A and B are shown apart, each in its own frame.
Chain A
Amino acid sequence: MPKRLPKVDVVLVGVGWTGGILASELTKAGLTVVGLERGKERKTEDYFMVHDELRYALRYELMQDLSRETVTFRSNEKVRALPMRSYGSFLLGDGLGGAGVHWNGQTYRFLPYDFQIRTQTIERYGANKIPAEMTIQDWGITYDELEPYFDKFEKMAGISGEENPLGGKRSDKYPTPPMKKSPTVNMFIEAAKKLNLHPYMVPSANLSENYTNPDGVARAACQYCGYCERFGCEYGAKADPVVTVIPVAKKTGKFEIRSHSNVRRILHTGNRATGVLYVDVTTGEEIEQPADIVVLTSFVFNNVRLLLMSNLGRPYNAANNTGVIGKNYAYQVFKGQSVGFFNDSEFNTFAGAGSLGACLDDFNGDNFDHSDLNFIHGANIAYTQTGKRPIQNNLVPKGTPGWGKEFKAASIKYYNSTISVAAQGACMPFRHHYLDLDPTYRDAYGDPLIRITFDFEEQDRQLTQYLASRCEDIVKEMKPSLVETAKELGPYDITPYQSTHNTGGVIMGADPATSAVNSYLQMWDVENLFVVGASAFAHNSGYNPTGTVGALAYRAAEGILKYRKSGGGILV
């Protein structure tokens, strides 16, 4: 029999960005909260030796241990799904702060179009614009309704930026000014302006200046050391949960973090969650944590997996298009890019920050006419100077051998002399892209792994072709010696790194028949269970997801407090 602990107001499954935000907001309002985190504690002191490309970027120091749990993947239902045995396409965070520790900090707001994508696409182009198998739907909330929560997230994290000339309306400016502009960032901005495009500085969670947020948390400015993505910040300059929301929750005295606590099931009686069952991974002991309200705040895959393993909600069935849990898995279409090689210029590109860069949305969302194009949506086009680290950056012109004397010479010659402009393509959901439980492969506890069924579609190939050409226009304007552009998307391959922007599976919406959670991320079928994260995205936009994840987390916190106050029921 598992040990049974005293009941608390709220139990959180996972303590990353969403868990941290909820802990902070709910404890400030007086609730007692327990956060169960299956990894270890993390703190800024851990990153004393962080400028280590091998350990962090190539040996995945901060990532989930795949020997204990991974995912399985197949391109379609006819293929046997096989485990992702080592890392490639995306990197799963682990430990306190989760993936919020190793992110770059690029903090966008999704476009107004995103939240009403089905309605607006049909209004402008007619219903035939949407292919039969494409399952886009409105999110059950508008940009204007979500705007205050974006603002709240940005002020908590201290986002450094300037207004996006083609973005949604803002109630306030960014709390800190944009990052410093490097020479190559200026080159991108100048080139884009010459093409009459609308560049702006990437909204950055790497602080441009010292900042004290509304909770009284003070953090120092970014030093442009060039070690953000895959690394933790040794200065606390990059906003992450450990240096922002978690200390605020702890200070209330009402937040208890239990690390090394792996949740295996959500406990429930009928349509009410009663708590969770977890394992202390250091002893193997099984423990029950009862709670009035259960909140899933782990990564996309684990949110879906826990619901399916706990028999909560209606599992999605692609064959007859019923159910919702696991539906609308989406990713990022991130292959279209153009590279300029400069024979006679060298740049300071070894320096940088995860969110140092400039970008534009002229070809994102529905900011351009798709009447004559065979795709919808688009991509944010960006040049980022994140710090070129030497093991992973060996760009050479096509035709150069992959090893030997010529490779060595070219990889050294161009190391400080290339500029890449990339399109971060939106990813539309399709009927046969989904998550479910794998019938064969198991984790360290004997529980089934999550199974991904996903491939790129014609929509994605067309988008990539078009957007890569727009990247090429900008690079050409910079007058490099040589331009090379990647326009062919190919099939989805789980081996090369693309992005950790996995989305969907517990999607939000206005209709319980086609969505799993409402606009407060409350489950339609289980009113005291909230599922928070990019799992709520009904599709993925042409942006990094964290800004929108953060906004939704603040909205969920408000919903939980309302729910608590009203004494129950589904929030409208």
Chain B
Amino acid sequence: MANQEENKDSSTISRRKFLANSGYAIGGLVVGGVLGSLLGREPKQQTPAPNQSAPQQTPDFNQALMFFTQEQFKVVDAATERIFPKDDNGPGARDLGVAFFIDHQLAGEYGFNARDYMQPPFFPGEKVQGYQGRLRRREIYEIGLREMQNYSMSKYKKNFYDLAPEEQDAVLTAFEKDEIKLTTTSASGFFKMLVTNTLEGVYADPLYGGNKNMSGWNLKKYPGNQMSYANIIEKEGLPQIKPASLRDHLSH
């Protein structure tokens, strides 16, 4: 935290530098508007964002479900916490809101494969030809999560989310290694998607519901959304820069 003041300063300086640059650009053909639109705006970072250091006062209204049932949510919450567990490095998937992130993603175009080619005919292909199924991501999740519950029930007589961590790992490993056969999709394919989506939820901008309070970025000392690194690009070592999110970028 000691570096905070310094970093505020450096970000202000770099902003001034852009403004100088933009004035230069306007001298010729005007080719861009972002630089111009920054003119006259107060650097948002100067105002400490709420909820950064003080305990959270207002509820996070984003933490509700758009797609999952309550049971599906509990399975995903437990599974992603095993994929990315809380440890000495810092928070795990649960504290970072990863299951909410995945819920919100599946509710929209990603869940519907809206920008993927989903036209028939469907044929099983070679591995190098990529996914050739007709199921959309949200359907794969529904099938995969149901099977995680079925498998946990048949093997341990418990819900997946009530299992001991080692037992949860054993279930996940069975999916990873395709020891479980799903009728319409591959268990390992589902598991791979779950791991990918977990990492997305840990490290995507907090606007998507994960990476709560930018704590995912803090794990990697990643500064998030910064205007410029021109001042540090030549410096040795790892500069400590307080992270900023896309929210910090909006002027109100």
| A residues adjacent to B (C-beta < 8 A) | 43-45, 47-49, 51-54, 58-60, 65-67, 69-70, 73-75, 79-80, 82-86, 88, 180-183, 210, 212, 215-226, 234-236, 242-244, 247-248, 251, 346-348, 350-352, 356, 390-391, 394, 402-405, 408-409, 412, 415-416, 440-442, 491-495
Whether B204 pairs with A493 at a CB distance below 8 angstroms is: no
Pick from B56-64, B115-123, B148-156 the stretch touching chain A. B115-123
Alpha-carbon separation in the docked complex, A60 to B172 (Å): 29
CB neighbours (8 Å) of A85 from chain B are: 113, 116-118, 130-132
Whether A348 pairs with B89 at a CB distance below 8 angstroms is: no
Contact digits for B77-113, partner A, Cβ 8 Å, 1 yes 0 no: 0000011110101001000000000000000001001
Whether A405 pairs with B131 at a CB distance below 8 angstroms is: no
The residue from A65, A247, A350, A409 contacting B222, defined by CB atoms under 8 A apart: A350
Q: Interface of chain A, helix or strand or loop or mixed? A: loop
Whether A86 pairs with B125 at a CB distance below 8 angstroms is: no
Given the known interface contacts A66-B116, A219-B31, the answer about A408 and B230 at a Cβ–Cβ threshold of 8 Å is no
Given the known interface contacts A217-B28, A404-B85, the answer about A225 and B227 at a Cβ–Cβ threshold of 8 Å is yes
Alpha-carbon separation in the docked complex, A17 to B31 (Å): 16
Whether A45 pairs with B130 at a CB distance below 8 angstroms is: no
Cross-chain pairs A/B with CB under 8 angstroms, 8 sampled: A82-B123, A85-B131, A223-B229, A225-B227, A225-B228, A352-B233, A394-B199, A491-B128
B203 at the interface (CB under 8 A from A): yes
The residue from A73, A219, A403 contacting B83, defined by CB atoms under 8 A apart: A403
Whether A52 pairs with B205 at a CB distance below 8 angstroms is: yes
Given the known interface contacts A52-B205, A225-B228, the answer about A66 and B117 at a Cβ–Cβ threshold of 8 Å is yes
CB neighbours (8 Å) of A243 from chain B are: 31-32
CB neighbours (8 Å) of B230 from chain A are: 180, 221-224
Alpha-carbon separation in the docked complex, A471 to B105 (Å): 39
Minimum CB distance partner of A234 in chain B? B34
B76 smallest CB distance to A (angstroms): 14
Minimum CB distance partner of B204 in chain A? A54
Tell me the count of chain B residues lying within 8 A, CB to CB, of chain A: 77
Given the known interface contacts A181-B234, A220-B35, the answer about A348 and B229 at a Cβ–Cβ threshold of 8 Å is yes
Contact digits for B194-224, partner A, Cβ 8 Å, 1 yes 0 no: 0100111011110110000000110111111
CB neighbours (8 Å) of B236 from chain A are: 183
Alpha-carbon separation in the docked complex, A346 to B115 (Å): 39
A147 smallest CB distance to B (angstroms): 27
Pick from B17-25, B43-51, B65-73 the stretch touching chain A. B17-25
The residue from A53, A84, A247, A409 contacting B204, defined by CB atoms under 8 A apart: A53
Minimum CB distance partner of B125 in chain A? A82
B126 at the interface (CB under 8 A from A): yes
Whether A218 pairs with B234 at a CB distance below 8 angstroms is: no
B36 smallest CB distance to A (angstroms): 9
B13 at the interface (CB under 8 A from A): no
Minimum CB distance partner of B88 in chain A? A409
Alpha-carbon separation in the docked complex, A442 to B117 (Å): 10
Contact digits for B124-139, partner A, Cβ 8 Å, 1 yes 0 no: 0111111110000000
CB neighbours (8 Å) of B22 from chain A are: 220
Minimum CB distance partner of A242 in chain B? B31
Whether A224 pairs with B233 at a CB distance below 8 angstroms is: yes
Alpha-carbon separation in the docked complex, A83 to B126 (Å): 12
- Sorted nearest first, the 10 A-B pairs with minimum C-beta distance are A218-B28, A44-B32, A351-B229, A220-B21, A346-B238, A223-B228, A45-B33, A236-B32, A390-B203, A54-B204
Given the known interface contacts A182-B233, A441-B119, the answer about A221 and B83 at a Cβ–Cβ threshold of 8 Å is no
CB neighbours (8 Å) of B226 from chain A are: 51, 225
Whether A54 pairs with B115 at a CB distance below 8 angstroms is: no
Minimum CB distance partner of A413 in chain B? B89
Whether B235 pairs with A235 at a CB distance below 8 angstroms is: no
CB neighbours (8 Å) of B14 from chain A are: 223
Whether A226 pairs with B115 at a CB distance below 8 angstroms is: no
Whether B203 pairs with A53 at a CB distance below 8 angstroms is: yes
